[in-house]
Amino acid sequence: MQRLMKDSDLRTINEREFLEIYEYLREKTKEFTEIKQEFLMENPQYLLILRLILGLSQKGFTEELGFTNKIWVRHFETGRQNFRRSKLIPKCIDVINRYFAQKKILRVEEAIKLWRRSQAAREKFFFKPEGLNYNIKKISQMDINDFKLYFSYLNKETENFTKFDPNILVNTPQFITVFRIILDLSHRSLAIALNKDPKTVRTHEYREYKLMPKTAKEIMELFERLFKDKEMIGNVNLEPCLEYFKRISYYDELEIEIENILTSIENNNLLTQKHVNIIVNTKTLNIDFIIYHNDKPLFAIEATKLKETRRKNITHRIAYIDHRFQIIKLKYPNINTGIIIRVDKGQEQLVKRIIERELINTNFCLVNNEIEKLSEIVKKFI
């Protein structure tokens, strides 16, 4: 169940998984009597399952929010990070709790029927590959090795970037992301070049809908034109593209290293989530890693790379993170907190002296190669 909640796109789960999540939500909402805002923040895609349990379509839920355009509900259910900060979330929580209070809850058999209908609609209108298709991650989930692999796929499909067939994008719309990185374009830059909204570009890259041949042709013609302008036809070097990837993407070597260590800990009751929003009073803090044990937050970990050379700047950064932990402990008094720091060797001893002097709310701090101790520290508490 934990692996399902962590890794799965809840729009594509099967019937057995739907039942698992149904029971999980029943437990977390105290038999469908109350949902709190922070629980929806744990995974915004819970909204999809919850509205089906309430017997509401996207349009129906939108109307309950007092709107006519269902784009907010649709985007929130994709789990996109920026929607977690939306001012509509409290209203969304109020709608769900009002339905709970009025006992407007479908029996599990009815909820499954509604889920089946939603799946049928998705099959009809959403992306369905018709030819050669590659499994390419969203840019927010890519690491550098992923990009190298996708680069090789695209190199093969385009015959060393000499053939720009629109069907490549029809069959694998995520190749738009790979093209965009190779050309060193942000979402916004590509959207401006195409005279489209950046959200539309993301929709294509995330493969949420079919990419129609006409649109694919328009995008591919732009890519070919840009390749010609930059004299890159048949002449694409991977190395600068890797630098573009690091700049454009969410890639962070330190976070990847931490994630690999945490993933290697074998414990079925342990769940790690990245970039989690924690709401304390009116503040929303985004924490790099939250480790849950038996569904309770056990660790909050922040990762940071210190490039400053001035003592006061280093002190300010470390003290700022420690202060964030103080706020988190108002909500979770028993949570363990840790900072993992990557710093130039020449600054390492200075950073350690500042750590000894400044930290109050941080349970442990690992600098550079001390990151190897992380697994051992976590295991002591499980």
Domain ranges within the chain, ordered by starting residue: 2-123, 139-248, 253-379
- 152 Cβ contact partners less than 8 Å away, ≥ 6 residues apart: none
Mean pLDDT estimate for the chain: 85
Tell me the pLDDT tens digit for each residue of 239-264.
Answer: 999 999 888 776 667 888 888 898 88
- pLDDT attached to residue 37: 83
Helix then strand then coil, % of the chain, to nearest 5: 55, 10, 30
- pLDDT attached to residue 157: 94
- 338 Cβ contact partners less than 8 Å away, ≥ 6 residues apart: 299, 300, 301, 302, 362, 363, 364, 365, 366, 374, 377
Highest mean pLDDT: which of 5-9, 18-22, 72-76? 18-22
Task: Answer yes or no: are the C-beta atoms of 227 and 233 closer than 8 Å.
Answer: yes
Highest mean pLDDT: which of 119-123, 260-264, 372-376? 372-376
- pLDDT attached to residue 268: 76
Across residues 345-367, what is the average pLDDT? 91
Whole-angstrom distance, CA of residue 4 vs CA of residue 43 = 12
Band (pLDDT 50/70/90 cuts) for residue 127 is: very low
Tell me the pLDDT tens digit for each residue of 197-210.
Answer: 887 788 778 766 67
Q: Helix, strand or coil for residue 239? A: helix
> Which structure tokens are listed for 27?
């437990």
- The topology under which CATH files domain 253-379 is Restriction Endonuclease (3.40.91)
- pLDDT attached to residue 132: 54
- pLDDT attached to residue 119: 79
pTM tops 0.75: no
Whole-angstrom distance, CA of residue 144 vs CA of residue 308 = 25
Tell me the pLDDT tens digit for each residue of 49-71.
Answer: 999 999 998 889 999 988 887 87
